[in-house]
Amino acid sequence: MNPGPNLLGPPFRGATVRAMRLLPGAAHFQVSELPAYLPGGAGEHLYALVEKENANTDDVAFALARATGRPARDVGYAGRKDRAAIARQWFSVRLGAEADLAKLAAPPGARLAVLEVGRHRNKLRLGHLAGNRFRLALAGAADAAALDALRAELDRLTRCGVENRFGAQRFGEARTNLAVARAWASGDAARAAALCVDPAGAWRPGDPLPDEYRPGLFGRVVGALRRAPAEPERALRAAGPTLAKLLASAAQSAVFNAVLDARRGAGLLHRARPGDVLRRSGGGLFRAGADDAAEASARAAPGRLEVFATGPLPGEDAFAPSTEVLAEEQRWSEPAAVEWAWFEPKSPLASPGARRELVVPFLEPPALELAGDVAWLSFALPPGSYATELLTQCGVAGRG
């Protein structure tokens, strides 16, 4: 199978807006987590609101584990945030001591600061958040036509919703996470481990391993290979379930993006058919029937956005559409070059699966604040939605 050209992005809209671009540097991409709840004041878990710059979420989790002397499995967080950003998010550390936070050390080139602390009875887990608030700096605001075009695109997205695509970050730098997932799930553990060592693919089993310390999950694989170079499967599993979940997520995201592209092309982003799996705004999933598909389509229409069509994150227990729609989704996902059987039990990427809305509404409407040639764009999106995808859908250029 050959990955399709639209795996990482939809067709550009708003050509005039291309005169604007996201400014480089972490200071121009700010994100603040909107927590589902705040620490209650008592419990075995230390909560810390951390501001990070030029570090990914796993970097912070490892740094917290080292500072508090707790195993990595005792550190929790609600969602992953961009590396090239100033991001504020909550972490939990089971049996962590507040005094140990003074020993928190940032990775080279990064900055970490603890803003608040508290205690709570439970560990933070993925999904324990209400959304994320973004503040992005866009160059080109002096171009009146581009600014007007951007406002028109934001109005369109406010009415129609933001396509809920997974951004390029989900697949790892140079799409390495996806490449490792494909290799491991298809039975080539040696290839998967080699890509962890060298994402460019030049390293081969038997070559000398790099001497420098490797942080993160791929670094754990490299460390395990140093101890047992001939056991790539064991090296991959030495990184723990977090690596398997990360890789499964990358592969599932590729499937979802391919299905979203296909539904857009068929005019089905805001239309429900019998057998489709839908989600009510603020509610649960349901399968559309022949008697309620028309009503669901009306509620899913731009301007209402009360019901949302969903796409698959394949797995054993995912809420399934009708047999006909399931076969269609599997056919639509072929450009992702991902086998759905990879997520079944006993596979390295075994996953329960889920459904994800194809479009999402703003949690807070977009607002523009002008400062000379810079426009600061602020908005909030539901958990798991990508600000970079919103910019792509508006036609704003990436960082220069």
Q: In degrees rounded to 5, what are phi and psi of residue 296?
A: -65, -40
Which residue in the block uniquely carries the two structure tokens 């960082």? 399
Q: In degrees rounded to 5, what are phi and psi of residue 161?
A: 90, 160
Cα distances from 153 to residues 306, 308, 311, 393, in angstroms, run 21, 21, 24, 8
HSE, CB side, 13 Å, CA atoms: give it for residue 352.
Answer: 3
Name which of 194, 239, 250 is nearest 217 in CA terms. Answer: 239
Q: Is 82 a catalytic residue?
A: yes
Name which of 264, 258, 304 is nearest 280 in CA terms. Answer: 304
Q: Are 171 and 254 in contact (CB under 8 A)?
A: yes
Query: Cβ neighbours of residue 141 under 8 Å, at least 6 residues apart?
Result: 20, 147, 370, 371, 372, 373, 374, 375
- Sign (positive or negative) of CA dihedral 147, 152, 153, 154: positive
Cα distances from 18 to residues 14, 15, 163, 378, 392, in angstroms, run 7, 5, 19, 19, 10
Rounded to whole angstroms, the Cα distance separating 114 from 262 reads 44
Query: Cβ neighbours of residue 330 under 8 Å, at least 6 residues apart?
Result: 340
Which residue in the block uniquely carries the two structure tokens 């607002």? 367
Find the catalytic residue in 74, 82, 261, 276.
82
Rounded to whole angstroms, the Cα distance separating 392 from 321 reads 30
DSSP assignment of 296-353: HHHHHSTTT--EEEEEEE--TT-----HHHHHHHHHHTGGG---GGGGSTTSTT----
Q: Report CA Rg, the chain.
A: 22
Which residues are the active-site residues? 82
